[in-house]
Amino acid sequence: MNRTSVSAKAAVLGTAVLALSVSASACASAPQTGGTTTSAAAGGAGAYTWWDPYPQHDPASAWAKRVDSCGKQAGVTIQRTAYDTTALTNQALLAGQEGNAPDVILLDNPAVSTLADAGMLTTMSDFGLDTARFDKNLIAAGELDGKTYGIPIGANTLALYYNKKILDAAGVDPGSIKDWATLNAALKKVKAAGKKPITFAAIGTEEGSFQFLPWFWGSGAQLTQLDSPQAVAALDLWTTWVKDGTAPNSVISNSQNTTWEQFLTGEFAFAENGTWQIDSAKKAGFPTGIVQIPGKDGGTAPTPTGGEFITVPVQKDTKRYAVTKKILECMTTPEGLVETGTTFAYYIPSTAEGQQAILAKEPGLKPWVDAVKSAKGRTSDNLGTKYPKISEALWTGVQKALSGSATPADALKQAQAQAKQATGG
């Protein structure tokens, strides 16, 4: 591939990366540190380079050992370097400009289209890897202009956690929640019982968009038209909850981690949060469960996918791809996907076979497998590098409505104008 095109595009795309700080969307509690080489394997004739966004996992961690084992199976050592999510994408763009990209990069899924558009990544078809076995809704986040640039090592997403003790006292059956009307009825019962109904994260960052999208998509809205009547209905739902005290005023500044801390106090009936809180929920001082976020008129709302994709940067020496392919295949066998899922305790495998295998070990994950099956990539619908700009406009509109500085309709009208100007269409 022409390196000049990589350099020119990467320089333009670098500024968009700042909006893609989405490790917080997928795993809010992960430490944010600089790049560190965390694998014991160093460079050399038999070394392949691997970058990922997990600086919290040191050389002794199960994850580092998992990566090293796939290198050994491929007959090489792996030199693993970990960055926080934003730094990783920026470093990858820089490496693309300089022509010294690593062999493998594990990217948070919205960043795949950014690097693909910069000309940095091989397509999976050119690389020779069959993607047909991966769930279409999950692999869509790695697609751009009809080509697939990576494969998901797993996925996580959102649902509504509930405090069973509060619901029992308020006479609420979580199984009765099928749409917005039945959810509102449940929240009113909780409020009448003197408890706090629901909390969520509406902070003015990607986390805010991430948490709003299930309600946005669940209303039938599309990211190409932020001010549609359906979108206004979704924002009106959130705004009404804040105005009448169903949700606390703090949601406007809540991160997902803050929201979870609120839920763990035992004072809230519901909290919107993700798969990554499974272990924490088990340790809560009260019984918990989850219900899928309902669509406005019924059914399960599409929730945004979090999780990383394995991508393969373009290499000058294409002979390296044969070994790289072995590493990727090791990571994505059904057994490999289960091992990754259990290593992180919150990743759902991205293939049907992998999902069946993890459910055989952890039957309690079924609600999350169901949630992931109905989830949707944020860059899907071929939004690609437009997504960060649309998302920023969306979270800005949400902030305006929740703060009372604009009505939901006016806030989203301004958001649509902002997105249109930012994306040039």
Q: Which CATH class is domain 3-156+307-373?
A: alpha beta
Question: Identity (one letter) of the amino acid at 346?
Answer: Y
pTM of the model: 0.87
pLDDT tens sequence across 182-223: 999 999 999 999 999 999 999 999 999 999 999 999 999 999
Q: Decide if 408 contacts 235 (C-beta within 8 A).
A: yes
Q: Decide if 389 contacts 199 (C-beta within 8 A).
A: no
pLDDT score recorded for residue 8: 42
pLDDT tens sequence across 373-400: 999 999 988 899 999 999 999 999 999 9
Q: Which CATH number fits domain 158-303+383-423: 3.40.50.300, 1.10.10.10, 3.40.190.10, 3.50.50.60?
A: 3.40.190.10
Matching fold, domains 3-156+307-373 and 158-303+383-423: yes
Q: Decide if 205 contacts 391 (C-beta within 8 A).
A: no
CA–CA separation, 76 and 320 (whole Å): 11
The residues spanned by each domain of the chain are 3-156+307-373, 158-303+383-423
Q: Which two tokens stand for residue 50?
A: 């691997």
pLDDT score recorded for residue 36: 52
Helical packing angle, 206-218 and 229-243, nearest 10°:
110
Which is more confident, 346 or 340? 340
Q: What are phi and psi of 384, to 5 degrees?
A: 50, -130
Instruction: For the chain, give the percent of residues with pLDDT over 70.
Output: 89
pLDDT score recorded for residue 43: 39
Q: Which two tokens stand for residue 96?
A: 């693309």
Q: Decide if 350 contacts 156 (C-beta within 8 A).
A: no
Residue 418: pLDDT over 90: yes
CA–CA separation, 161 and 425 (whole Å): 38
pLDDT score recorded for residue 206: 93
pLDDT score recorded for residue 228: 98
Q: Decide if 355 contacts 343 (C-beta within 8 A).
A: no
Q: Sorting pLDDT into bands at 50, 70 and 90, what band is 37?
A: low
